[in-house]
Amino acid sequence: MAAPHFHKERLAELMQREISAVIARELRDPRIPSVVTVAGIELSTDLRNATVYVSVFDAGIPAADAVKALNKAAPFVQRLLASRISIKHIPHLYFKQDKSIEQTLHINQLLKEIQDDVE
C-alpha cells in the first residue's frame, strides 16, 4: 500500500512548486501581496480536493483578505495547473492561511519570557 501514499506525496510536492510559481508570476490581483509562500498542500484521499496552506508576508495587506483573493483566483490557478501537470483530474483548490509561523513566534516569545523570569 506504499505506492498510493508515495504518489500522493509526489503530487503534493509538484503542486506546491507549480502553485508557488503561478502565484509569484501569473496572478495580478493587488489584494495578493508580492510575497506569498505555499507552506504545504493537503490532498484528500480521492485526490479531488486540495487544501493549500499559504503564509502571507506583507504588513499592508491583511492575511485574511489575501486568502479570500486567492480563493477567488482558485479556478484560474487550477486551469494553469491543468496545463502544467498531466493528471486525470486537477484537484479543487481551497486556500487557507498557514498559522504555524505565527504560532512558532508566539511560543518563542513565551519561552523568552520564561527565560527572563528565571534569570
pTM here? 0.81
Judged against a pLDDT cut of 70, whether residue 3 lies above it is answered with: no
CATH number of 2-118: 3.30.300.20
Q: Is pLDDT larger for residue 108 or for residue 49?
A: 49
Give the pLDDT mean for 43-52: 92
Residues pairing with 37 in the sheet: 55
What ranges in the chain are assigned the alpha helix state H? Answer: 2-25, 63-72, 74-84, 100-118
List the Cα angle 71/74/77 in 5-degree steps: 145
Give the pLDDT mean for 49-70: 88
Phi, psi of 61 (to 5 degrees): -120, 120
Measured CA to CA, the distance from residue 27 to residue 38 in angstroms comes to 14
Residue ranges covered by each domain of the chain: 2-118
Give the pLDDT mean for 62-67: 88
